[in-house]
Chains A and B, each alone.
Chain A
C-alpha cells in the first residue's frame, strides 16, 4: 500500500509539473502560473502522515529544480516545498479540515513557499530582482493557487486518504 501511495504521489507531482509548464503558460497572468506541485504537496500534508509529506515535498521540489525550463540554482524549490510540507503538517488539525480551512492553508502555503523561494534567490542573488516585483509575483501566485484549489485539492486529498486507510479515520 505504501509503495502504491508513493507511485501515486510521484505520478501526481509529475503530471502537475508537466501541466504547469506546458498548459498554464497559455493562461498565465504576466508569466505567473499556478504552482500545481505546491498544491500536490499541500494535499499530501493535509491528508497523510508528516514524514511522507516532507519527503514528497522534497522530491517535488527537486523535480521543479531540474526539469527542463528551470535554470535557477538547484535545491531552491526543494527547500521551499520541504518547509511548506512541514508547516502544513504542523498546522493540520486532527478533524477533517473544512473547505475554508483548506483554502486558507493553501493561501498560506503558497505565500510561504513562493516567498521562501524568492528569499533564497535574494540571498544567492541568483537573478537580481526588485523586491516590489517579487511581492507582486508572490501575491498573484497566491491568487492563482487559491483559484485552482477547488479543482485540485479535493480529488487529491481523496486519493491520498484512500491510499492510506490507517490515517483516513474520520
Chain B
C-alpha cells in the first residue's frame, strides 16, 4: 500500500516536474530587464539629486496615496486610543501626584530665577514687538510613518499645499522641533524627522549661545536621539543644557525652537572637537498632532493657530 502510495507520488511528481519546467521556465531575461529597470531608477534618482526626474512621479503617487493613508489613519485612530480607557483611578491619582510635584519644583525654579526672568521677559517683549514673530501654525495629524526597514525616518501628515504648507517649512509639536517638510502634495506633506541620519539642524546651546550642528543618529532610542557638534572646538557644552535652533527666518528651520537637552558630552581626541548627545524633547515613537510653521496670514483650508494662541 505504502509502495503504491510512493509510486503514485512519484508519478505525480514527474508530471509536476514537467510542468515546472514549462511553468517556471527561467524568466531570466525578465529578471535582467527588471533589475536593470530598478538600477536605472536608482541612477536617475541619485544623479538627479533635488531636481530628480522622479520628483513629479513621487508627487503624482503621493496625490493618489495621500488620501488613502489619511482615511486609513482616521479609521485606526479610535482603536489606538483604547488603551487609554483602561487606566485605573490609582494610575490617574499617581499621575496627578507626580505632576503636582514637578509643578511645585518648576514653580520654585521660576521664583528663584525671578530677577533674570523679569529682565528676559522685558527683552522678549521688546524683540517680539519689534519684529513680530510672524509665524502661524497649521495643525495636522500624522497619517503614515516610514518603516525602519526603509532606513529613513519620515512621516506623512494630513496637511498639504492647500493648507498653505510648502517645502522646507519647520514642523513642531507641543514639546519641540519635529523636522522639516520635504515635499508636499495637495492634501499631504512628507516630513523628514530630525532623528534621520541625513538630517542636520543648526543648533544653539542655550546657556553659552554657542552654535553647532545637530545630526540625527538614526535611532528611536530616546536617550541617544541626536548628536551635537559645536563649531567652536574650545567650548565645552554642559550637561542638562537646552539646545534650540538658530536657523534663519527664510531657511528650513525657524530660530528659537527647542530641540532637546544635552545628556552626555564626549571629547573626541582625533578630531579635537566636542561631541554631545542630545536627548530630543519630542517623543518620536508616539507622534500624533504636529504643527507646521507658516508665515502669519497665509491662506489655508483650515484654522491657523497664530503666535499669540488665537485661532483664525
Given known A-B contacts A71-B192, A94-B20, A127 and B148 have beta carbons under 8 A apart: no
Which of A1-9, A78-86, A155-163 contacts its partner? A78-86
Q: How far is the CA of A20 from the CA of B148 in the complex (A)?
A: 12
Interface hit among B40-48, B253-261, B264-272: B40-48
Residues A58 and B38 in contact, CB atoms below 8 Å apart: yes
The answer to whether A22 and B73 touch across the interface, beta carbons within 8 angstroms, is yes
Judging by beta carbons under 8 Å apart, are B23 and A35 in contact?
Answer: no
Contact A77-B150, Cβ < 8 Å, known A22-B72, A50-B24: yes
How far is it, in angstroms, between the C-alpha of A102 and the C-alpha of B71 when the chains are bound?
32
Is A124's CB within 8 Å of the partner chain B?
A: yes
Task: Tell whether A100 is near chain B: CB-to-CB under 8 Å.
Answer: no
Contact B27 A72 (CB under 8 A): no
Chain B residue nearest to A134 (CB atoms) is: B151
B68 near A73: Cβ-Cβ < 8 Å? no
Tell me, in angstroms, the Cα distance from A23 to B166 when the chains sit together. Answer: 26
Inter-chain residue pair count (beta carbon < 8 A)? 201
Q: Specify which chain A residues have a CB less than 8 angstroms from the CB of B196 in the assembled complex.
A: 127
Main SS class of interface, A: helix
Question: Which B residue's beta carbon lies closest to that of A75?
Answer: B41
CB distance from A76 to the nearest CB of B (A): 6
Flag whether B152 is at the interface (Cβ < 8 A). yes
Decide if B27 touches A74 in the complex (CB within 8 Å). Answer: no
B202 on the A face (CB < 8 A): no
| Also in contact, A74 and B35, with CB within 8 A (given A118-B151, A129-B218) | no
Point out the residues of chain A lying under 8 angstroms from B220, CB to CB: 30-31
Contacts known (A50-B23, A68-B62, A68-B66); A127 close to B151, Cβ less than 8 A: yes
State whether the Cβ of A25 lies closer than 8 Å to any Cβ in chain B.
yes
Known contacts A32-B149, A54-B27; A75/B40 CB under 8 A: yes
**A73 surroundings in chain B (CB, below 8 A):** 42, 45-46
Min CB gap A104→B, angstroms: 19
A128 to B152, CA, bound (A): 10
CA of A129 to CA of B196 in the docked complex: distance in angstroms? 10
Tell whether A146 is near chain B: CB-to-CB under 8 Å. no
Residues in A with CB closer than 8 Å to B154 are 69-71
Q: Determine whether the beta carbon of A58 is less than 8 Å from that of B34.
A: yes
Evaluate contact between B69 and A21: CB separation under 8 angstroms: yes
The answer to whether A71 and B146 touch (CB under 8 A), given A79-B38, A86-B31, is: yes
Among the 9-residue stretches B87-95, B182-190, B232-240, B273-281, the one with 4 or more Cβ atoms under 8 Å from chain A is B182-190
Complex Cα distance A23/B156, Å?
A: 13
The answer to whether A66 has its CB under 8 Å from any CB of chain B is: yes
Q: List 13 A-B contacts (CB under 8 A).
A: A30-B148, A35-B147, A51-B27, A67-B62, A69-B145, A74-B57, A75-B37, A75-B42, A82-B38, A94-B13, A127-B152, A133-B218, A133-B219
A-B pairs with the 9 shortest C-beta distances? A75-B41, A94-B16, A79-B38, A25-B145, A21-B144, A75-B42, A69-B146, A22-B72, A31-B148
